[in-house]
Amino acid sequence: MKRRDFALAASAGLPLWALAQGPAPAKPAPQEGIEYVTLDKRVPAESNDGKIEVIEFFWYSCPHCNAFEPRFAQWIKSAPKDVVVRRVPVRFRDDFEPQQRMFYTLEAMGKLEALHVKLFTAIHGDKQKLDTFDALSAWAVKNGLDKAKFTELYNSFPVNMKARKATQLQEAFMVDGVPALGVDGRYYTSGSLAGNMARALTVTDHLLTLARSSKAAPAKAR
């Protein structure tokens, strides 16, 4: 979903005629500047374990992020061992902040894995308006979380700092819409660049190959 029109909720499926065309011919290797961009300044990875970091930028209220979630979850399951994945909630406007804090509050409570997809479903499947602290707090309690602990963590310094860093990371990658993917702190792709998010994952696989090559080059030089 492009940043300029994120308020428009339209998740489109393939038209029937497309299903009758059979498999599409293989596409050439992704091209820089068309299906992905290389950042002018590399963004440091969160960890220093030598793995290649893949970041998904998302927004809970984005219908395209909701549609992408199952595909991305499957991609994560088959990701190579040298890849580490993390999700980063964006903040294009101030009213994005409650959901941004929600993500890190669930993470702090050890409930992110259990409730991440469930929150997407509540918003897009059940049509619940969950974009304020009060609404998110009530939803959290309904799903078994302690209200006092939830409120404490939601307003805590660690959650505040993580939300702030998420916004800084979003800006460093120059994210202009979601969902989008950052690779190895230097590459950026999205459905807008690649054409769709399925292709964006193919592009991501290509970028992982580039990242491995760049890591191997200095080693050979030594």
pLDDT above 50 (res 20): no
For position 4, what pLDDT does the model report? Answer: 54
In a domain, residue 117? The reply is: yes
Q: Is residue 6 part of a domain?
A: no
Instruction: Name the residue range of residue 164's domain.
Output: 51-212
pLDDT of residue 203: 98
* Residue 4 within any structural domain of the chain: no
- Tokens coding 14: 């393939």
Q: Is the pLDDT of residue 157 over 90?
A: yes
Report if residue 179 sits inside a domain: yes
Write out pLDDT tens, residues 99-135.
Answer: 999 999 999 999 999 999 999 999 999 999 999 999 9
Span 182-192, average pLDDT: 97
Q: Is residue 10 part of a domain?
A: no
Position 12 scores a pLDDT of 43
Q: What is the reported pLDDT for 219?
A: 52
Q: What is the CATH number of the domain that holds 175?
A: 3.40.30.10
In a domain, 153, yes or no: yes
What local confidence, expressed as pLDDT, does residue 218 receive? 58
Tally of structural domains, the chain: 1
Domain assignment of residue 28, yes or no:
no
Q: In what order do the strands lie in the sheet with 52-58?
A: 37-38, 187-190, 180-183, 52-58, 83-89
Q: Taking the CB of residue 221, how many other CB atoms lie within 10 A of it?
A: 6
pLDDT at 13 over 80: no
Higher pLDDT, 213 or 7: 213
